[in-house]
C-alpha cells in the first residue's frame, strides 16, 4: 500500500479541497507527547491576537511556540542601545497563559540584522555587542524560554573554509570562537535553558553537499563537546521540497545516531514542505506534501534523541512560503498541516501517524 493510500484509508475520503474537514480527536501535541516529543509551531504574536480562530487552532494542536521573527535582531534591537521587547514579550505571555513551552529564535545569525550592526561590528566591539545582547535577551526570559537557537546557520561548505564555517559578520569580527562564546554567554544567562546549534541542509541522502555538510557538522560538534561548550542539541530545520523524491534514508538515520552519540538531543525546528513546483491540482499536491512529511518524520523519529518537532507555521493562511516561494500558476501554496480555512489536510494526518497518533 502506498503512503498516500495508507493515509486515505486511515482518514476516510478526502474533500475536494484536499482537506479532511473533521477536527481529529487527538491533537498533534498529544500524539507527539506520547512519543516523548514536544510539538509546536512558529507563529507571530500579532497574528494570534487578531485571529481568534487561528489562535484556537494553535492552542489545540501545539505544546510549544517559536517566535517566527520577534526574537531576531532586526526587530528586537532597532538601535545599539535600544531593545524593543514588545513582540517577544507578547509571545512569551501567550505561551505562558496556555502552558506552552517557548523555543527562542535566534540569538546569533548572519541574516535579519539591523543596519546599525554592520556599522558597529568590528574586532574591537564585537565581543561586547555579543555579550550585551545575549545577557539582555536570555536573561530577560530566563525560566520562561525553554530552549534557544543560539547560533543559526553557522556551517557553509560553499565558503570553502577548512573548518566548514560560514563567513558571517560574526566570524569576520571574532573568528571561530564566536560560536563557543555565544553558547557560554547563553548558559551563564540561563543555566536551565536548552541551547541549540540550528542549521539547514541535512535532510536528503542523495544531495552530495548535504552529505558533506553532515560530516562537517559532526566534526565541529564533536570538537565543541570535547572543549566543554554547553551545546545541548542540534536543530535540523527541515525545509523540504515537494518537487523531488523524499530521499530520507539510512544516511539520515546514521547521521542522527551519530549526533545522539555525542550526547546531544535533536530538534526539528522549521519543518514545512515547499510545493512551489509540485505538479497537479490541489488534491494531488496535498498527497505529495503528505507523503513527504510521512517519509521524513518516519526516518527522523526512529532516533530516540529527537525531542522536539516544530512546523514553520501551522496553517496555509499564514506561511512565509506565500511570499518567498509563490507558484508560477498563481495558485496558493499549501505547505502546512492545515489549509487556509484552518481545516486539517492529509499533511496533518501524516504527521499524526508518524507520531503514532493514528491507528
Provide the greatest CA pair distance for the chain. Answer: 63
Asked if residues 194 and 138 have their Cβ atoms less than 8 Å apart, the reply is no
Asked if residues 342 and 54 have their Cβ atoms less than 8 Å apart, the reply is yes
Q: Describe the crossing of helices 250-261 and 282-300 by its angle, rounded to 10 degrees.
A: 40
> Phi and psi of 310, rounded to 5°?
-125, 125
Compute the distance between CA of residue 288 and CA of residue 27 in angstroms, rounded to an integer. Answer: 22
Which candidate in 153, 156, 184, 291 is catalytic? 153
Compute the distance between CA of residue 167 and CA of residue 160 in angstroms, rounded to an integer. Answer: 9
DSSP one-letter string for 284-327: HHHHHHHHHHHHHHHHHTTSTTEEEEEES-SBTTS-THHHHS--
Residue 56, number of CB atoms within 10 A of its CB: 12
Which candidate in 61, 68, 184, 270 is catalytic? 270
Please say if 270 is a catalytic residue.
yes
C-alpha separations of 231 from 103, 151, 255, 292, 333 in Å: 15, 10, 17, 30, 36
> Which set of grid coordinates corresponds to residue 168?
558571517
Please say if 156 is a catalytic residue.
no
Q: Which residues form the catalytic set?
A: 153, 270
Amino acid at each position: 500500500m502506498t503512503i498516500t493510500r495508507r493515509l486515505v484509508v486511515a482518514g476516510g475520503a478526502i474533500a475536494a479541497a484536499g482537506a479532511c474537514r473533521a477536527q481529529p480527536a487527538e491533537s498533534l501535541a498529544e500524539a507527539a507527547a506520547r512519543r516523548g516529543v514536544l510539538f509546536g509551531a512558529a507563529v507571530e504574536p500579532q497574528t494570534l491576537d487578531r485571529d481568534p480562530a487561528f489562535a484556537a487552532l494553535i492552542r489545540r494542536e501545539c505544546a510549544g511556540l517559536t517566535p517566527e521573527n520577534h526574537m531576531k535582531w532586526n526587530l528586537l534591537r532597532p538601535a545599539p542601545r535600544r531593545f524593543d521587547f514588545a513582540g517577544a514579550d507578547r509571545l512569551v505571555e501567550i505561551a505562558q497563559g496556555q502552558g506552552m513551552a517557548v523555543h527562542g529564535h535566534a540569538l546569533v545569525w548572519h541574516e535579519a540584522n539591523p543596519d546599525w550592526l554592520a556599522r558597529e561590528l568590528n574586532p574591537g566591539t564585537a565581543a561586547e555587542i555579543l555579550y550585551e545582547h545575549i545577557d539582555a535577551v536570555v536573561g530577560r526570559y530566563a525560566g520562561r524560554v525553554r530552549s534557544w537557537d543560539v547560533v543559526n546557520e553557522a556551517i557553509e561548505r560553499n565558503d570553502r573554509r577548512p573548518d566548514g564555517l560560514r563567513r558571517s559578520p560574526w566570524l569576520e569580527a571574532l573568528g571561530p570562537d564566536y560560536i563557543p562564546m555565544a553558547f557560554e554567554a547563553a548558559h551563564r544567562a540561563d543555566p536551565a535553558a536548552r541551547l541549540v546549534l540550528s542549521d539547514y541542509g541535512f535532510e536528503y541522502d542523495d544531495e552530495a553537499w548535504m552529505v558533506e555538510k553532515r560530516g562537517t557538522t559532526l566534526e565541529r560538534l564533536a570538537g565543541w563537546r570535547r572543549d566543554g561548550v554547553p551545546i545541548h542539541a542540534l536543530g535540523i530545520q527541515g525545509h523540504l521540497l515537494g518537487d523531488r523524491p523524499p530521499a530520507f534514508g539510512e544516511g539520515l538515520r546514521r547521521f542522527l545516531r551519530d549526533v545522539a552519540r555525542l550526547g546531544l538531543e535533536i530538534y526539528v525546528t522549521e519543518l514545512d514542505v515547499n510545493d512551489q513546483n509540485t505538479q497537479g491540482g490541489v488534491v494531488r499536491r496535498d498527497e505529495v506534501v503528505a507523503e513527504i512529511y510521512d517519509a521524513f518524520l518516519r526516518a527522523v523519529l526512529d532516533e530516540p534523541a529527537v525531542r522536539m518537532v516544530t512546523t514553520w507555521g501551522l496553517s496555509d493562511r499564514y506561511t512565509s512560503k506565500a511570499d518567498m516561494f509563490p507558484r508560477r500558476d498563481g495558485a496558493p501554496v499549501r505547505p502546512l498541516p492545515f489549509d487556509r480555512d484552518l481545516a486539517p489536510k492529509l499533511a496533518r494526518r501524516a504527521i499524526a501517524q508518524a507520531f503514532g497518533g493514528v491507528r
